[in-house]
Structure 1
């Protein structure tokens, strides 16, 4: 299996986030050419962060697409918000976050934010295979 799309529409974000992680693991297990364990762990972490951000800041629903290319794997999360993720000072005491987007940028080979013609955006991360 070289490509796969997973759709998440949520009423309960916690259940959708768990489903996104499970879907990512199933996607990785179905690859014809398996990837290294550390890349798999990074991919699941990126999925978790991007889906969490989309659910929290993007209107409560999102779509997750995972695509395996010959040399890379792409994680793309689509949501309804036009606001791009941004780096901010992490909150060490109040629990409001600030760690995810910098972490995604460190783990991924490249990241991109693309506005969608119908509204909203797609946040993508590319990992070396």
Structure 2
């Protein structure tokens, strides 16, 4: 008789949701992303945790700035990726634009997210608005 031993090597933290509509809520989203990364097992490399926090910061900031002023952030762990999904009520898709090197006009966030994520997607929400999703390596 063969016995099968099952070993769970990857702990998956409970999905995390943060809702917000202010700069203080961006800070809360960053803290939630860091806490989420800290609960992952195996613990991600420091640069991977920093990347998660940066992508969360950029996506929720963009949702506030360009998405009608409110966001819902959802963080989910998968065996080989972390999913960052941000809902907002605007139907406008993120777009690549020339970054403003004077520091006043932005344009850095979406290209940065595109470069850091394994993949990104933008989908329309049935209730209106959109969800911007980024998958990051664990």
**What interval of TM-score do these two structures reach, taking the shorter chain for normalisation?**
over 0.9
SS of the residue corresponding to residue 84 of structure 1 reads coil
Counterpart pick for 2:111 among 95, 99, 102: 102
Counterpart pick for 1:89 among 89, 93, 98: 98
Q: Higher relative contact order by CA 8 Å / sep ≥ 6: 1 or 2? A: 1
Aligned residue number for residue 48 of structure 1: 57
Instruction: Tell me if 1:5 matches 2:9.
Output: no
TM-score normalised by L of structure 2 = 0.88
Aligned residue number for residue 39 of structure 2: 30
Q: Distance in 1 between matches of 2:94 and 2:27?
A: 22
Quote the RMSD (CA, aligned, Å).
1.1
Shift of 1:93: 1.7
Aligned residue number for residue 18 of structure 1: 27
TM-score normalised by L of structure 1 = 0.93
Shift of 1:103: 0.5
Which string of whole-angstrom CA distances, capped at 9 and with x for unpartnered residues, describes residues 78-106 of structure 1? 00001000000011125110011000000
- Structure 1: stretches of 5+ with no match in the other structure: none
SS of the residue corresponding to residue 32 of structure 2 reads helix
Higher gyration radius (CA): 2
Aligned length in residues: 127
Counterpart pick for 1:114 among 109, 116, 123: 123
Aligned residue number for residue 134 of structure 2: 125
